[in-house]
Structure 1
Amino acid sequence: MSLYIGLMSGTSLDGVDGVLVDFWAGAARTMSAAYVEFPQALRDELMALQAPSPNEIEREAVAANQLAEIYAGCVAQLLAKSDMKSADVRAVGVHGQTIRHRPELGFTRQTNNPALLAELCGIDVIADFRSRDVAAGGQGAPLVPAAHMALFGKEGKTRVLANIGGIANISLLHKDGSVGGYDTGPGNVLMNAWITRHKGAEYDDNGAWAATGQEVPGLLAALLAEPYFALPAPKSTGRDLFHADWLDARLAPFASARAEDIMFTLTRLTAVSLARAIAPHGSDAVYVCGGGAYNATLMRELQAELGEAVKVQSTDALGVPPNRVEALAFAWLAYRFGERQPGNLPSVTGARGERILGALYPR
């Protein structure tokens, strides 16, 4: 066996997904999966760290230690479920929690304490995957298209994998073997912020609240006027751009709109921005992963935008549950590091060339 663990906690700040994967002979067989929810206090702190704030260096370090402990708990669950020991696993690939992503300034920062994680779980840890790509002039994101092609590409078929987490990104898996991809814009981040403000909920379960609303005239166009949407690839984004203040500035002329109508329009924003990115590539099918795959209203709107000729379905159709795909990708990136093989795609990130991604923290 060639066992690797992948851990992913994303922009939605809900918790960490983990998978234990056997990459023997280049195949990918998931041995176990686990999810550990973040405590509310940690969610609040990670959200606060998205913007400059007092004593943020110390606060980030403390949050990183808490994250490492949660990551270690997820690793322990994965081992227990598969009846494996830490010595059986070659490495843990962990993305960390993005709190700043500024490739235009030459840096990206994912909060984590990989040294502590290696100490706690007794396994080599590979972390900080984005930085080498940024150092090579790339966006540092999205990094998953290379993994998506290796795991889900099919000769003679053009497929799109759409990851709808806090931010949405696409992997364009072309039938000729070429790969593209980029962040398309907000996924769940604005919808989650809006429902938390008005309902106290963390997310719109199955899109039920959005389904009670209708599109606010003029608002979708105002949101889509954001210059990011018109930028050519390669490009990447995050909470540095799409946050509550960004939304409030654009909602000001629509103060009389009902909250549920704004919620539906935000759902439409994600669907339309994704569809506009996908449509020009003539895909045979679109497979959705991330939390957005569980939002029936969003999935319905995305299907409507793309039309009947393109089938929209979750990655369950490919044999991988939507909430495991990103963790699987980071297990693959750790595997690539272990084989000393590149993990980025210059065609996606804009880097000057292929690079081995990640930094090793030995057990």
Structure 2
Amino acid sequence: MRVIGLMSGTSYDAIDAAAADLDLDGDCLTLTPLGLISRGYDEGLRSRLAAALPPADTTLAEVCRLDTEIGRAFAAAAVEADRELCDGQAELVASHGQTVYHWVADGQVHGTLQIGRPAWIAEATGLPVVADFRPRDIAAGGQGAPLVSLVDRMWLRGRPGAPAALNLGGIANITAPDGTAFDTGPANALLDAAVSEATDGRLAYDADGDLAARGAVHEPLLARLLAEPYYALPAPKTTGKELFHLPYLRTALRGFEALAPEDVVATLTLLTARTVADAVRSVRATEVIASGGGTRNPALMAALRAELGGGVALRTSDELGMPSAAKEAYAFAVLGFLTLHGLPGTDPVSTGARHASVLGSLTPGRPGAPWPRPVRASEGPVRLVVDGVGHGGR
């Protein structure tokens, strides 16, 4: 089955559309990458989205407008991916949507909201669309994140040692060797906020880690940031820009206003590396397979490698055949495929839910479009092979 996975993460800088051929044979699901299209949000839309996110106030009218306009933007990306990557032969779209709020209180997730109405995608492509993945796991008592953990476990199954999968987006999340999964804290969220603030919005992120490389870590600021209670919470746990946002950073910087922007960015880079490395050590991983935008930041990767030390190997998912920039979009393509076949897309070990769940809601495509035969849960995949790059074992 040819599936398009759509993803926009907590950095909300672009919509990634990754296309894959997915073939289920017994307990093995083979993913053949067909390519990635990444399209930035229109600057006006991105600015309005940023202005509506917590802790800012917004209105239901603006939420409705954003839901519609982001849905149209996702639809345009899906149409382009079908045309350019699938030769018009795509059979399914799996859309994560754009997270705007993750309701966490006292360590429990009570709700989540992803916008980007899937009806716009179904109308534009004529294809069935699986969307709204997270709420079902939350309804079953889970964190609703990180949902890619099931895909990580299938993909890394049989790999030697104790591998952990790491995603460095706006927020960093990890899938541990035993299947435990959680958000470690900010990856790029505070870094991006600091860079944008320091440059009056001219720069959105620390390109190539240049600012961090020119700065020096400020230990008192680092100590203040590391005192954040979230880091001490037990897994499973999730967080987002509801906590790690620009006002949070401004509060942390009180009394340190004289710090050069480069020093702030260097300190935040080490904060990410330190909290990720602490999480890796806590799950006793011997290898970290990293993906996401943070892997393109040499300063962050160098800091993480130094924090991990020589006993833990750090490599990117590209080295294992999974394109780093597209990994989350491919993961949601897999989750959409599982949903369409009636198969669970969560692992309770990872999210803390009471049971595994079939995820998402389904928006039908054009009239008369065929539906796949549901597969019994016992027939579902336990291994994921990426274009012939597998690790053996079960």
| Alignment partner, residue 7 of structure 1 | 6
1:292, 1:186 → 2: CA distance?
11
Corresponding residue number in structure 1 for 2:386: none
Equivalent residues in 2 for 1:179-258, closer than 5 Å: 179-199=179-199, 200-258=202-260
In 1, distance between residues paired with 2:156 and 2:72?
32
Match of 2:79 in 1: 76
Instruction: Select the residue among 335, 359, 362 that pairs with 2:337.
Output: 335
1:296 aligns with 2:295: no
The match for 1:119 among 120, 123, 129 is 123
1:79 match: secondary structure: helix
Distance 1:63 1:151 in 2: 35
For residue 139 of structure 1, the aligned residue among 140, 143, 149 is 143
- Alpha-carbon displacement from aligned partner over 1:31-58 (angstroms, at most 9, x marks no partner): 2321111111111111122126665211
TM-score (norm 2): 0.87
In structure 2, distance between residues paired with 1:32 and 1:197: 34
Stretches of structure 1 that go unaligned for 5 or more consecutive residues are: none
Secondary structure of residue in 2 paired with 1:24: strand
2:98 partner letter: Q
1:69: how far off? 1.8
Is structure 2 residue 322 aligned with structure 1 residue 320?
A: yes
Q: TM-score, normalised by structure 1?
A: 0.94
Partner of 1:67: 70
Map 1:27-66 onto structure 2 (within 5 A): 27-51=30-54, 56-66=59-69
Which residue of 2 is the match for residue 165 of structure 1? 169
Is the 1:152–1:318 contact (alpha carbons within 8 Å) kept by the matching residues of 2? no
Matched AA of 1:195: V
Whose helix proportion is higher, 1 or 2? 1
CA distance in 2, matches of 1:257, 1:319: 41
Write out the 4+ residue segments of structure 1 that deviate beyond 4 Å after TM superposition.
52-55
Q: Is the 8 A contact 2:102 2:109 kept in 1?
A: no
Distance of 2:132 and 2:203 partners within structure 1: 31
Corresponding letter in the other structure for 2:68:
N
* CA–CA separation in structure 1 for the residues paired with 2:288 and 2:73: 33
Aligned residue pairs: how many? 356
Match of 1:249, SS state, is: helix
CA distance in 2 between counterparts of 1:283 and 1:234 reads 17
Q: Output the aligned Cα RMSD.
A: 1.5
Q: Where does residue 19 of structure 2 map in the other structure? A: 20
Quote the offset at 1:156 in angstroms: 3.8
AA aligned opposite 1:338? L
For residues 275-299 of structure 1, give each alpha carbon's deviation from its aligned partner in whole angstroms, at most 9, with x where no partner exists. Answer: 0000133323212111100000000
- Structure 2 unaligned blocks of 5 or more: 366-394
Moved more, 226-235 or 311-320: 311-320
Q: Distance in 1 between matches of 2:281 and 2:70?
A: 38
Q: Deviations over 1:34-87 (max 9, x none)?
A: 1111111111111122126665211122112221222122212222223532xx
